[in-house]
């Protein structure tokens, strides 16, 4: 008999089905030991000795594992494949040793990146020892959490009534929010007006052109400073005759983005789906743990806490086969795509977030999960598939247009991309944090210069819409998702999931106030920032 320990009871139930007779799978329900919230739990003067405590509920879990080991020859620690998972395995082993529950049983550590029968059974064939380096990293982090939080928080509570708490990472996250607010307060808004003409080609394809000049004088972004100026130009445009003066097109290739890491998944889920980081992680956890499909519980995505952007070779092969079958051979690159993480702090312990099977389409999965889970799965599936598709072939195009109305001459410019071959764009395009002044990423219809008697754009007033818009653009408020990668760097390169937790704690303790996907600090947060 072999005893297998995982974190959650749902995972234990699934893995028990995969392994069958000869295995008993038990759940630790997460960490079983922690530092008690009292003085002396970490002793810096005694080589940072740490005193651990097992709470009553966790003690029952330890007793259950010890009881199961009496008839077993092997203990298999199969917690999550990251630092916290390694720490949980270490804690379980330490607690069992303190109880003298191990009587010569073999101890093995196994990890799997997806909860599928194939991944689990393969992992069981490749056991290893507990990774001491990962455990040491956890111990250092936990000691600092205690020393910073337990030491600073009481000071804040005494000196600043109403303060919440301090923390090794959450205080850094609070500083990021407050620094951004200081930038916003210092910003002096300047009123200006932007003017856009909405035009159509002879094929009735719409595009936008922005004002660049009036009566031979170039117009910069802030030059139209009053509504009267804007209205004068708007009226001239509405009665103008338009012509294309020149078209400049440069060929370009656009490569697909890599598959998701934890932070890029959260950022994109916030942009496209409106999910806060904590919601994204909760949904991803459910997708990772799996659903019942065909009488068997199957994990739908790989492990969701990762900063890696590589994909297993067998998964790449499946993706390429699926792309060729569903989209055509022209959408499959000549060789598999590989990605390299540009972050110096990336640990890349395991794969990017991807579907466990490319053949399990979002339409199929939607039958087994709720709406939000289905939306997140579709985002993950699209991104992973797109990452192995052919590049888009584009023409970066600049179109200069002249509008004449009597003695008035108004210059306009449309910039963007003409798509010659859509490649991965047929499936996926990255979202943006905010409206951008960069027009080059916008798609343009194919536009040619005017020919005699054959204009390239219509001059019928129905084809023209000029608008004046008031634009104030101070620095944006710190986003819950925007702060994630910044926190990782500021805190010494912590994994994405830690920064996410800090962002959630800062938000949950009402340091910042949410405005849609944005947040602003409360006065309490600013006072705590100043005190720290």
CA 368 to chain centre: 24
Torsion angle defined by CA atoms of residues 150, 152, 153 and 154, in that order, rounded to the nearest 10 degrees = 90
- Tokens at residue 16, please? 């028990």
Identify the active-site residue in 192, 303, 331, 428. Answer: 303
Q: Which residues lie below 8 Å from residue 466, measured CB to CB, with a gap of 6+? A: 195, 196, 197, 198, 233, 234, 237, 238
Q: Which residues contact 182 (CB under 8 A, 6 or more apart)?
A: none
Give CA–CA dist 503/401, Å, rounded.
47
Considering only CA atoms, which of 184, 260, 192 is closest in space to residue 518?
Answer: 184
Cα of 436 vs its chain's centroid, Å: 20
* Contact status, residue 316 vs residue 354, Cβ threshold 8 Å: no
CB-facing half-sphere around the CA of 205: CA atoms within 13 A: 10
User: What beta strand segments (E) does 406-524 contain?
Assistant: 408-421, 465-470, 512-515, 518-521
Nearest residue to 476 via CA among 524, 516, 522, 529 = 516
> Whole-angstrom Cα distance, residue 331 to residue 320?
9
| Phi, psi of 479, deg, nearest 5 | -85, 155
Catalytic-residue membership of 146 = no
Give dist(CA 148, CA 152) in Å, integer.
6
Is residue 342 a contact partner of residue 485, using CB atoms and an 8 Å limit?
A: no
Active site residues: 303
């Amino acid at each position: 008999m072999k005893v297998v320990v995982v974190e959650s009871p749902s995972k234990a139930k699934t893995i028990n089905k995969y392994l069958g007779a000869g295995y008993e799978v038990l759940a630790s329900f997460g960490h079983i030991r922690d530092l008690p919230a009292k003085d002396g739990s970490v002793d810096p003067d005694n080589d940072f000795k740490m005193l651990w405590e097992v709470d009553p509920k966790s003690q029952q879990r330890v007793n259950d594992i010890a009881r199961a080991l009496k008839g077993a020859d092997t203990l298999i620690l199969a917690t999550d494949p990251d630092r916290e998972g390694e720490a949980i395995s270490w804690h379980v082993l330490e607690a069992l040793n303190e109880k003298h529950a191990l009587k010569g049983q073999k101890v093995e550590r196994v990890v799997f990146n997806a909860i599928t029968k194939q991944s689990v059974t393969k992992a069981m064939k490749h056991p290893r020892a507990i990774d001491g380096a990962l455990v040491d990293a956890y111990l250092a982090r936990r000691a600092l959490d205690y020393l910073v939080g337990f030491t600073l928080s009481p000071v804040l509570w005494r000196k600043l009534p109403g303060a919440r708490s301090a923390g090794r990472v959450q205080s850094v996250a609070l500083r990021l929010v407050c620094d951004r607010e200081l930038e916003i307060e210092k910003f002096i808004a300047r009123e200006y007006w932007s003017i856009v003409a909405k035009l159509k080609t002879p094929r009735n394809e719409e595009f936008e052109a922005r004002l660049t000049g009036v009566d031979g004088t170039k117009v910069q972004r802030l030059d139209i400073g009053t509504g009267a100026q804007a209205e004068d130009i708007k009226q001239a445009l509405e009665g103008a005759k338009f012509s294309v003066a020149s078209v400049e097109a440069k060929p370009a290739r656009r490569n697909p983005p890599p598959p998701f890491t934890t932070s890029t998944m959260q950022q994109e889920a916030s942009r496209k789906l409106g999910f806060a980081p904590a919601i994204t992680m909760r949904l991803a956890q459910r997708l990772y743990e799996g659903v019942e499909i065909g009488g068997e519980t199957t994990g739908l995505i790989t492990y969701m806490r990762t900063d890696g952007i590589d994909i297993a070779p067998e998964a790449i092969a499946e993706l390429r086969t699926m792309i060729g079958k569903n989209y055509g051979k022209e959408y499959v690159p000549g060789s598999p795509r590989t990605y390299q993480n540009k972050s110096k702090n990336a640990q890349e312990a395991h794969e990017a977030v991807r579907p466990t099977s490319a053949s399990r389409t979002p339409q199929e999965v939607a039958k087994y999960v709720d709406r939000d889970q289905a939306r997140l799965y579709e985002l993950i599936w699209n991104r992973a598939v797109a990452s192995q598709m052919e590049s888009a072939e584009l023409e970066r195009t600049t179109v200069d247009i002249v509008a004449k109305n009597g003695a008035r001459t108004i210059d306009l410019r449309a910039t963007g991309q003409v798509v010659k071959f859509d490649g991965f764009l047929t499936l996926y395009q990255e979202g943006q944090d905010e409206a951008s002044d960069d027009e080059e990423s916008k798609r343009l219809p194919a536009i040619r210069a005017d020919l005699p008697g054959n204009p390239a754009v219509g001059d019928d007033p129905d084809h023209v819409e000029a608008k004046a818009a008031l634009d104030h653009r101070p620095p944006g408020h710190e986003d819950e998702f925007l702060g994630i990668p910044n926190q990782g760097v500021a805190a010494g390169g912590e994994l994405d999931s830690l920064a996410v937790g800090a962002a959630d704690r800062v938000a949950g303790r009402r340091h910042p106030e949410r405005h849609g996907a944005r947040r602003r600090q409360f006065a309490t947060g600013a006072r705590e920032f100043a005190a720290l």
